[in-house]
Amino acid sequence: MALISYHGKKTTIISAFFALLLLSGCGVNTIPTLDEKVNAAWAQVENQYKRRADLIPNLVETVKGYATHEEKTLTEVIEARAKATSVTLSPENLSDPEAMKKFEQSQGALTQALSKLMVVSEQYPNLKANENFIALQSQLEGTENRIAVARKDYIEAVQAYNTEVRTFPGRLWAMIYGAKPKQTFTAPAGAENVPAVKF
């Protein structure tokens, strides 16, 4: 009888050990996997912003040939591009709200400067008919669409990551890894306002 009791306890202990081992491994790779998805999505965001920045010098040069009186606008675009390309955000800093805000502001300023340049170009019919300008404008529009998609993908990756590090059992693993919620994009100021259309 004592022999059966000893083996029963030993079996129970071994079973409990394996159950604990299986449960402890549950989710251990989730946070690093989601973190890698966030980093990959962020790399795509940066890639698209770089593509836009690379198009701008050619666009400015093309506009400069036709819109000689728009030196101020061209200078604003060049300065905004320089600032946008100087503000970078590494994957390690994606949890820093101030770094994300600074990055968004520099990219937003470039977007506004480019919008202003496009409005100015409307005043120059010869520029609007220039094949090089048309091609650059088309590439820029395509890049803006790619930026929107890359930002959406990044936001979704961050949402999955943040959900994991804020909920159980991921929260336990987050404490072990030192994982913090990542920052995401916010709508630019005034985005809630409907733009005025004038004919």
188 pLDDT more than 80: no
Could you tell me how far CA 10 lies from the centroid of its own chain?
A: 53
DSSP characters for 77-132?
HHHHHHHHHH----GGGTT-HHHHHHHHHHHHHHHHHHHHHHHHHTT-HHHHH-HH
Which pLDDT tens digit goes with each residue over 16-63?
Answer: 666 555 555 567 789 999 999 999 999 999 999 999 999 999 999 999
Could you tell me how far CA 94 lies from the centroid of its own chain?
A: 9
Cis-peptide, bond into residue 169, ω within 30° of zero: yes
Provide the pLDDT for residue 11.
Answer: 72
Structure-block tokens of residue 51: 């593509």
192 pLDDT more than 70: no
Provide the pLDDT for residue 165.
Answer: 95
Q: Which fold has domain 29-177?
A: de novo design (two linked rop proteins) (1.20.1440)
Which pLDDT tens digit goes with each residue over 99-123?
Answer: 999 999 999 999 999 999 999 888 8
191 pLDDT more than 80: no
